[in-house]
Amino acid sequence: MPPATQNEPMLTIRYVLDTDTVTHQQLGQQFVVSKLQVVDRSTVATTIITMYEQLRGRLAAINRKQSDAQVQLAFRHLQATQQYYCTARVLSFTERATQIHQRLLTQKLRIGAQDLQIAAIVLAHNAVLVTANQRHFAQVPSLPIEDWTHG
């Protein structure tokens, strides 16, 4: 995916990959990889929230008390994650996304803070959220969702 630019709001984004879908992609999950091969990759992005969640998880793994081999593996995962985001289109938490997020907060949805931020970014881009986490995201009004983890 090409990197985002300063003109991000002008980008035509059709699909936004949630954290679980990005993880499936990174692990080479067959159905996700196959779907990415048939869609126009220039219309696919992820979010700064997903990047934050993954990096936070990688750093937490490094900081756990563990064997030398586990620490080495944790650093390899961190580096692979960094390399992924060097080529991924990453959508920002813009002013429009912030406004949508504030509106969603007033609806008292039972959804995690980062998931609500991801939903706001997707809505700001009038895109489809690609996630296997339909139970939470289905609560967000007018949020189109697709699950690419099944054939």
Ordered per-residue pLDDT tens for the chain, 151 residues: 444 444 455 568 999 999 999 999 999 999 999 999 999 999 999 999 999 999 999 999 999 988 999 999 999 999 999 999 999 999 999 999 999 999 999 998 999 999 999 999 999 999 999 999 999 999 999 999 999 998 7
CA–CA distance, 56 with 77 (Å, rounded to integer): 12
CA distance 2 to 42: 7
Q: What does each C-alpha distance from 115 to 25, 33, 37, 49, 110 come to in angstroms?
A: 19, 23, 26, 8, 10
Side-by-side strand order, sheet with 128-130: 90-91, 44-47, 15-17, 128-130, 145-146
Beta bridge partners of 91: 47
Q: Which two tokens stand for residue 114?
A: 């980062």
What is the Cα–Cα distance from 65 to 71, expressed in whole angstroms?
A: 9
Give the pLDDT confidence score for residue 5 in this predicted structure.
44
Residue 130's pLDDT is 98
Helices (H), the chain: 19-26, 30-38, 48-63, 68-87, 95-105, 113-124, 134-137
CATH code: domain 8-146 is 3.40.50.1010
d(CA 55, CA 81): 7
Q: Where are the domains of the chain?
A: 8-146
